[in-house]
Structure 1
Amino acid sequence: MSKEQKPAEEYVVIRHRPGYRLRRTAILLAFTVVAAIAGYVAGLSKGGFRFSSVEASNEVLEEELETLQENYTEARQQVINLERGRAIDEQALNQARRMIVDLETQIVSLKSDLTFYKNIMAPSEVSKGLQVDNLSLVDEREPGVWGFKLVLTQVGNNKNYVSGLVAVNVIGLRDEEKEVIALRDLSEEIEDLGVKFRFRYFQDVEGTLVLPDGFEPLEIQVVAQSEGRNSSQAERTFDWDELTEN
């Protein structure tokens, strides 16, 4: 009686695809970063962090920052792993590096937002009350046309609303003579000499201004005057070149 024959061994042929593992790693990393950024954008879309409670905004920002920092650390490790690999897929490595830069940008932005809210809630003794916090200009890519954003804040005591008027003047030269032009004469969005404000924590004043021909701007002067029994005034002058150097 013959012995039972053993089944023949089977072999599976797998196609060798150089760089496939590295590309797969980069794709997974891409999904991680996109998910983190999507979460951040979703947070912005729900009011742009303009919640009624600054404390709630702080908590959301801190959670988003912690998530981004974790993803940043993971992404950095992925780059190190790719660089140590024997066969480097340049495309995957460059993609991972770009994502590192995106994460760093998001982290810087979140830290800036956190600083803004913390300064409102825990100010120094010399910076309480109504404040002209910031003014920014954006080149609209048309001659003499600039987008502007003015931020007013109430620092420290936020139990009551603060209201009043803020006046903005652009100071410059025309025909070698000093000239002061009110913002309402440069912007269609501003109708009155003083822009009304009313807020507890902060308020933005945004629009577009158009400089007249032959006018060379030098400074922007902002004067905010609150109303009521505890009225106060905040004034700040911004250098035009510093606002537009970027």
Structure 2
Amino acid sequence: MDLPPPLQRLRHGGHPRVALTLLVAAALLLGLWGAWRSFAPTPANARERLALQARRIEALEQENATLARSDQISRQANADLQEALAERDEEIAGLRADIAFYERFVGATGQRRGLSVHALKLLPQRDPQLWHFVATLTQNLNRGAVSSGRLQLALEVTDGGSMRRLDWTVLRQQAGAADIAYSFRYFQQVEGDIVLPRGVRPVRVVVRLLPASGPPVEQSFTWSAATAADAAGG
């Protein structure tokens, strides 16, 4: 291995003091170089750069949160709009059905019919034995004449494998329960409540109309049809 000239001179009998001085100087230079590498100052604007980067990250995070919130609001607004449009469509369809109904019974070209039950709806209540009914009564045979009378309901049920009929007083759970009165020219909705005895399975509902003049009118509806969303006469 080749040595630097000063060390070669030392090896070959050079002056020891000069060689020692050179060694000390080399060690000092190496130490200074290492210290400079370890403790050299960072660029003058390093803190500013770090602060700028931190502010940039914070701004980007805030922007991302804002965009996410805006997207959520837009989605909710769109869902609300779609729901409102569906409700309006349903309302328009209902109004058109009402117009057709009115024209059929009030219009000059409508089919003439005597007293009848146009529709019956049964709506479940919080108590599973309690049901609310809405019966739509119509007549346009005698235009302008008032049709009045009383309404009762009866229920055909299966109980233990046999069929039996529950009358109005049983459904109302009251002996001598009063009938529901009606009075109209063209149509009227008559409402009330009935109570199903426990353990019976309803099959058919019978609406019985007792007009002030004329014979009684009976019209039946299957339980499944009367409890459907759009119950109509049968």
Answer yes or no: same fold by TM over 0.5. yes
Identity %: 26
Q: 1:41-100, CA deviations, whole angstroms, 9 ceiling, x for partnerless residues?
A: xxxxxxxxxxxxxxxxxxxxxxxxxxxxxxxxxxxxxxxxxxxxxxxx433333322221
| Counterpart mapping for 1:151-230 below 5 A | 151-187=136-172, 192=177, 194-228=179-213
CA distance in 1: counterparts of 2:222 and 2:95, whole angstroms: 26
Task: Work out whether 1:239 is the aligned partner of 2:194.
Answer: no
Residue 129 to residue 188, structure 1, CA distance change in 2 (3 Å): same
Contact preservation (8 Å) 1:188, 1:208: no
Aligned to 1:55: none
CA distance in 1: counterparts of 2:126 and 2:120, whole angstroms: 19
Please list every run of 5 or more consecutive structure 1 residues that lacks an aligned counterpart in the other structure. 1-16, 27-88
Q: Please, which of 136, 140, 152 is the counterpart of residue 125 of structure 2?
A: 140
- Three-state SS of the structure 2 residue aligned to 1:128 is coil
Q: 1:181-202, CA deviations, whole angstroms, 9 ceiling, x for partnerless residues?
A: 1123212699547543322122
- Three-state SS of the structure 2 residue aligned to 1:237 is strand
Whichever residue aligns with residue 168 of structure 2, its letter is L
Q: Tell me by how many angstroms 1:132 deviates.
A: 0.9
Whichever residue aligns with residue 189 of structure 2, its letter is D
Contact preservation (8 Å) 1:121, 1:156: no
Residue 189 to residue 110, structure 1, CA distance change in 2 (3 Å): farther
- Three-state SS of the structure 2 residue aligned to 1:163 is strand
| Counterpart mapping for 1:25-64 below 5 A | none
Contact preservation (8 Å) 1:140, 1:146: yes
CA distance in 2: counterparts of 1:100 and 1:217, whole angstroms: 37
Residue 207 to residue 194, structure 1, CA distance change in 2 (3 Å): closer
Residue 115 to residue 166, structure 1, CA distance change in 2 (3 Å): same
CA distance in 2: counterparts of 1:156 and 1:149, whole angstroms: 23
Larger Rg computed on CA atoms: 2
CA distance in 2: counterparts of 1:162 and 1:95, whole angstroms: 45
Whichever residue aligns with residue 220 of structure 2, its letter is T
Please list every run of 5 or more consecutive structure 2 residues that lacks an aligned counterpart in the other structure. 1-65, 230-234
Q: Tell me by how many angstroms 1:233 deviates.
A: 4.6
Q: Tell me by how many angstroms 1:149 deviates.
A: 0.9
Equivalences, count: 164
CA distance in 2: counterparts of 1:119 and 1:191, whole angstroms: 37
CA distance in 1: counterparts of 2:175 and 2:117, whole angstroms: 18
Contact preservation (8 Å) 1:187, 1:207: no
Residue 190 to residue 159, structure 1, CA distance change in 2 (3 Å): farther
- Three-state SS of the structure 2 residue aligned to 1:168 is strand
Aligned to 2:103: 118
